[in-house]
Amino acid sequence: MQQKKKINLRLENGKIFTGYSFGKFCNTDGEVVFTTGMTGYPESLTDPSYSGQILTFTYPLIGNYGIPSLHYDSTGHLLEKPFESNKIQVRGVIISNYSFEYSHFDAVRSLDDWLYENDIPGIYGIDTRELTKVLRTKGVMPGEINTSIVKEKFKVVDPNKTDLVSGVCVNEPVIYRPWNRNTRKKILLIDCGVKNNIIRNFLNRGVEVIRVPYDHDPVSSGFDFSGIFISNGPGDPKRCRKTIENIKNSFGLEIPIFGICLGSQIMGLSAGADTFKLKFGHRSQNQPCIEPRGRCYITSQNHGYAVKTNTLPGNWEEWFYNNNDGTNEGIKHKSKPFFAVQFHPESSPGPNDTGWLFDMFVDML
C-alpha cells in the first residue's frame, strides 16, 4: 500500500470531500453514483453499465477478499467469474474503509493493486453516508476526483450526454458455443455493454450466442438465429438511436426478443414509449420487484433510467414494478413473444430469484 496521500472528491454542487488515495493517484471525472450492495465489488467494478461513473460503495468495508487471477478464454474474453467484462469499467472508486489485508482462497492481488494496474483512482476515509445523503437529496451528479484542492470553474461533462455504449461493446461479431455441441438454438445478442454472466447463463442452457455490436441490424443480418437478446449497458437509452430503430424493425420478424436493463429501455423506446432519468437510480442487490399478480422478487439492479409506464402503447403492458418507488421494472407485449426486465436476472452479484426468465426465453426459441 502506498504512503498516505490526501485526495479530493468535488461534486457539481460545489461540495468537497477529502480522503486518502488508493489505487492510482491521479485525476478523473464522471457521474458520481452509489450502490448499497454488501458484496461483489469485482463484479460491480467490471460491469459495463458503470462506464463513465465514479462508484461509491455504501457498505463500509471494501477490499477484504482481494481479487482473483484473470483467465481469458479462446475468444479473448474474460468469461470466468467474478469478472463481468475484460476490464474495470468505473472511472473511480469511493469507499469508507479500505481493508489493507485481504484473505480469500483464490485471491492473488489486492483491490489497491488492481486499481493501480488499471489506472483507476480510489478514495477511502470519507463519510460515504454523508455523500450518499447528498446524492439521494440532490440526485446523482457529475463530479471529479482531484489530487489537489481545485478552485477553478467546474468543467466536468455529464457522461450521459456522450456515446458510452460504443465504448463498451464488441467491434465485430464474436460467437460463443456451449459445451453441448449438438444444440440447435442460437440467439443474436445485441451488445450494448453485456455482462459476462448473461452469456454464461445462455451457454449453461445449451444456447449458442452470436454477440454483435449495438448497431448491428438483425433484419439484414447474415447470421442464422431464432431469437434476439438486447443487453444491459451504460448511459441514456435515447442515445442508442440506431439500436432503437433496429429493434423496432425487428418486431416484424416475430421471433422471441428479450431485453435486460438498458435493453428493456431500448425495447420500450422501440415500442413507442418514453424513458426518463431517475433521481439517484437503483444500484443494489435487494430491490423488490412485483408482478401485477402479486408475487415479489428480490433483484439485483444497476440503472439510472426507466420506462414511463403510462406511455406504453395499448398492445404493451407493465410486467413488473419496483415496490420502493413504483417505477417500471419490466414490460411485455400482450400477444407476441417480446418482453424485457429492468433488473438483472443473471445477478452477479446478487440473488438468483429470477433466473427462470432465461428458461422462459430459451423455451420460446
User: Cell 483491490 belongs to which residue?
Assistant: 111
Catalytic: which of 216, 303, 333, 344? 344
pLDDT tens per residue across span 8-61: 999 999 999 999 999 999 999 999 999 999 999 999 999 999 999 999 999 999
Residue 163: per-residue pLDDT:
94
Q: Specify the pTM.
A: 0.95
261 is catalytic: yes
Task: Given the residues 31, 261, 282, 329, select the one marked as catalytic.
Answer: 261
User: Is residue 101 flagged as an active site residue?
Assistant: no
Instruction: Dump pLDDT digits (tens) for 137-166.
Output: 999 999 999 998 766 777 888 999 999 999
- 312-324 burial, b if ≥16 CB within 10 A, otherwise e? beeebebbbbbee
Query: Is 346 a residue of the active site?
Result: yes
The pLDDT of residue 75 is: 67
Q: How far apart are CA 207 and CA 159, in angstroms?
A: 35
Is beta strand 67-68 parallel, antiparallel or unpaired with respect to 186-191?
unpaired
Q: What is the mean pLDDT of residues 273-286?
A: 97
CB 211, CB 174: distance < 8 Å? yes
Q: Which of 43, 84, 208, 346 is catalytic?
A: 346
User: Please, what are the domains in the chain?
Assistant: 6-161 (3.50.30.20), 165-364 (3.40.50.880)
Taking Cα atoms as reference points, which of 170, 332, 165 lies closest to residue 251? 332
Q: List the grid coordinates of 36.
A: 448499497
Say which amino acid occupies 181: R
